[in-house]
Structure 1
Amino acid sequence: MFAFNFNNTTMHIFYGKAALRDYLKSIKTSNSTIGFVPTMGALHQGHLALMQKSLLENKNTVVSIFVNPTQFNNPEDLAKYPRTLEEDVKKLTALSPKIILYAPTVEDIYDGQPLSQSFDFDGLENQMEGEFRPGHFNGVGTIVKRLFEIVAPTNAYFGEKDFQQLQIVKKMVAKANLEVNVIGCPIYRESNHLAMSSRNERLSPHEREEAAIIYKTLTITKEKFQTESPESVTEWVKKAFENNTLFTLEYFVIADEETLLPSVIKEPNKKYRAFIAVFVNNIRLIDTISLN
């Protein structure tokens, strides 16, 4: 364990799972709860909002910072992913020194073998992100399951920007019979409505400003969806990005929120959601919006 002192406040930091488990065991009581926010660092206000919710709803809050190698299918993306642990610790301490930070090494998490477990998420893993990032959700399932086993949280908090990931984590918890309540939280956005992401730090000021087109497209999509077919709306989005020289559309999908299967027709009593992924200067950005 390491105790970080910042402005005369102290936060507990653990780099190994054994020490973290021992500490959590020592502070556990019959009615205490543990809230957990797993992150890959480069913390922004969206992450902090998840932590604030956990602090309000639980006696103890654990935050993990770990750039998980098994969920990156692009080695360049892994290499360039921002790592800002010192700044992250300052942000966490300013938010609440009562936060317990787990910042493990790859060795500590994977015991020397950073390999993914294979999961069956009942097809949720084959859509959208799964189609364009082979093996990604096996990596996500592997790290989240391991972190849940280490931290043993009562409640775990995930942002809805990664809605597909949220659904997959819920599926994994159900199929593995894990005793953790998975809570989805609203997307936190920048002033131009760009969904907050650690990858945004890699954007130039101009790219960041122009990225407002992503959410603007989604809001128009929502309006069009009320009177037009999913196919018609999808074609409109594709044409809109064909005329854009800065951003390249990787995918746009209107899907059933529960099954994540692409929707051809609108059915009553079903919830639909639009999902989008775009590239700008080899930086990949995703977003989503509920359509009804």
Structure 2
Amino acid sequence: MRVVLIGAGLAAQRCAETLRALGHDGPIAMYGDELPYDRPPLSKAFLKGERPDVRLKPDRWYRDHDVDFRQQRVTDLHALTYDTALIATGATPITLDAFPHAHTLRTREDAIALDEALTTTRHLAIVGAGLIGQEVASAAVARGIRTTLIDLDPNPFDALMGPGGGHHLRRLHEDNGVELRLGNPNTGPLNADTILVAVGVRPNWTATGPNVFHAGDVTGSAHWEAAVTQGQSAARRMLGLQPKPEPAPLVWSDQHGVRIQRVGDPRDATPNGDLTYSRAGRLSAVVLLNEPHRVRQARQALKEAA
């Protein structure tokens, strides 16, 4: 069985690893701009001036596991010969015409460019208070840079923390010196010498067809663990196997020295008042602050409540 993986990111990497681990010995071709690397350090270590090796696997892994990496961008499945394919082409940051010279943060090159710009920045404005905007704000104020975080949503922190729970994260940013313009950001000129636009992403090219699977950010699920589980599940389906039951989803972030981990899905849920959330009387999500040891316990509680 000939497998092609379109896109060379985390989802494609986990798909390739799972195929080989499950005994698939047929050809695997992976198409992308460069070998897969890990993105979370881009908004963390890279913005501290560090340059860690973020490759998911060393070059020799692809040789040893007979994964044929091809540095090529594919936009037409019909140009390839395959029996089954994974579309894991990722996503591209949304830009805003109002800020033609603004930075975005998606690739290693983006992170290096932003880090270098911050060395001379006096005032950073971040348009978009989602996860990337929050993490960059944390990194910037830690460097002593005046930082303004801007969003049309008056409660953008609820997306990570759950309905009504965002005030914990808002206070964390305010206590660390981040200036917030939320809900009605047009309250005067920015006067910022560096601007980051972090208002979300658009899925890249995709395709459908028999024996074509999808994983990662191209599906609209822009979180690290989702890419892992979707890539692994796609590999099992390619081999005619049932995917393993997925644990409650985990989203995590490091901000101002606090490890935030959200287990489960708090959307449309009712807050219980202790950073836990319920839906129809059943536990649906738990948010942990500097408690990584409780992730397994939270997942077990959510499993029992399902």
**TMscore range, shorter length:** 0.3 to 0.5
Structure exhibiting the larger radius of gyration computed from Cα positions: 2
Return the TM-score normalized by structure 1: 0.33
TM-score (normalizing by structure 2)? 0.32
